[in-house]
Amino acid sequence: MKRFVICLAAIGLIFSFNACKKDGVYNPSKKVSKIYTEVYLYDSAGSVTCSIPVLSENYTWDKNRLKELDSYIEGRQIGKQIFVYDGNRLARIDHVYPDYPTEIEYQTIFSYEGSKLHKATILDDGDIEAEIEYIYEKNKISEMIYTMYSSGLSLNILEPLKQVLDPNMVEVLSCDKEMLACLEAKNGLTHKAGVRTMKIELEWERDNISQVKLIQDSYTQTVSFTYDNKKNPFYSRPMEDIETMGDPEYGLLSFFCNKNNIVQMESTSSGHTYTIPIEYEYDGSYPIKQTITPPHADPDDIVVKYIEYR
C-alpha cells in the first residue's frame, strides 16, 4: 500500500492571517510569503558546527486567495498543493508531484453543512483513505473525529490538526516525541489493517486554544498551552463571524486559529508531565523568528523557523 504524507497545512496555514475591521469587512494586513527552517551542518565527528536557514514553505497568492503552497526539505521541493475553489469556498486541495504538477498524488475534499465545515476526506484514485469530522459547540470547534481506513496511511499523526490549529501549535505538538511514538505505534505502517479512530478534544480560553486532548483506545494525552500578547500571523478575525467562513476575503477556518503565539506547552500522559518552551523575535507585533526547544534536546533537536511577510 502506498505511503501517504498528508500535508493538510493548507487550511490552518493558508487563510488564517491577521486582519483589521473596516466598515464591516476584514482585510488581511499581512500574509506569510515564505517560511525558512534552520538546517544543521556537521563536522566529520558528527558534531554540529553551524546552522543555516533554508526555505521550507513558499506561498503563491492571487490577491487574498491562496493559489499554491510549495514545501521543501533542505532546499529540495518535496510537495506542491494546488487550491481549487467553488465560488468563495475551498472545495479541494490537489496534492501533486512537484515535477509533474498535472499528476495528482492524492486529494483532500471538503464538505460543508450550512456555513460550517463538516468533513475533510482524503482520496487516492477515488478510494477514501481517511476522514476528519468536525463537531462544534456554539461557534467554536470542540472535537475532531479522525478516522483512518488505509493500513498504509503513515504520517505525522498530528497533521490533521493543521486544518484547525495554526502551525505554531502543530509544530510544538510535533516536538513531543514521546506522544508521537505512542500514536504512530498505533497507526503506522506496522499496524494491522483495519479502521482506526482518534478523537481530538479542544478547550478554549477566549480566542486561544487552552488545551488539546488526544484520545485513542486506552491512550490519552493532554496538552495545555500558554500564550504571549503579540499577533499570531495565522490568525485572521473574530471567531463569532462564522457566516463568512469559506470566503477567501475573510479567511477559511481562520477563527479556529489562536489569536496569540504559544510560549509554552505542557504535556501530560500516564502521570508524566514535561514542558516545551517557545521563544520569539518580533518585528513590531508580529513574530519573525520562532525557536522551539524540546526537553533534553540535543543542539540539532532545536527547531528554528523564520517568517517572511509580503
Q: The cell 514542558 sits on which residue?
A: 275
CA–CA gap between residue 120 and residue 162 (Å, rounded):
12
Q: Mind listing the pLDDT tens digit of every residue in the chain (310 residues)?
A: 333 333 333 344 333 333 333 333 323 467 889 999 999 888 888 888 888 999 999 988 888 778 898 989 988 998 898 888 888 788 888 989 888 878 888 888 989 888 788 898 888 888 888 888 989 988 788 998 988 886 554 445 666 566 556 666 777 777 777 776 766 666 554 444 568 888 989 999 988 889 989 888 888 889 899 999 998 887 754 333 333 333 334 344 444 578 899 999 998 877 788 888 999 999 999 999 999 988 877 888 888 999 999 8
CA–CA gap between residue 178 and residue 180 (Å, rounded):
6
Q: Where are the alpha helices (DSSP H) in the chain?
A: 9-14, 167-174, 177-187
CA 170 to chain centre: 5
CA–CA gap between residue 203 and residue 12 (Å, rounded):
17
By DSSP bridging, strand 196-205 and strand 140-148 are antiparallel
Q: Which triple of cell numbers denotes residue 127?
A: 478510494
DSSP line for 187-249: HSTTSPSS-EEEEEEEEEETTEEEEEEEEETTEEEEEEEEE-SSPPTT--S-TT-GGGTT-TT
Asked if residues 38 and 49 have their Cβ atoms less than 8 Å apart, the reply is: no
Q: Which triple of cell numbers denotes residue 227?
A: 500564550
For residue 267, what pLDDT is reported? 87
For residue 210, what pLDDT is reported? 93
Backbone phi, psi, residue 44, to 5°: -65, -20
For residue 77, what pLDDT is reported? 93
Asked if residues 211 and 227 have their Cβ atoms less than 8 Å apart, the reply is: no
For residue 307, what pLDDT is reported? 93
Asked if residues 287 and 230 have their Cβ atoms less than 8 Å apart, the reply is: yes
For residue 53, what pLDDT is reported? 93
Q: Which triple of cell numbers denotes residue 226?
A: 500558554
Asked if residues 134 and 119 have their Cβ atoms less than 8 Å apart, the reply is: yes
For residue 15, what pLDDT is reported? 35
CA–CA gap between residue 245 and residue 247 (Å, rounded):
6
* SS3 at position 166: coil
- Encoded amino acid at 5, one letter: V
For residue 156, what pLDDT is reported? 54
Asked if residues 260 and 227 have their Cβ atoms less than 8 Å apart, the reply is: yes
CATH of 9-309, one of 2.40.160, 2.60.40, 3.30.530, 3.10.620: 2.40.160
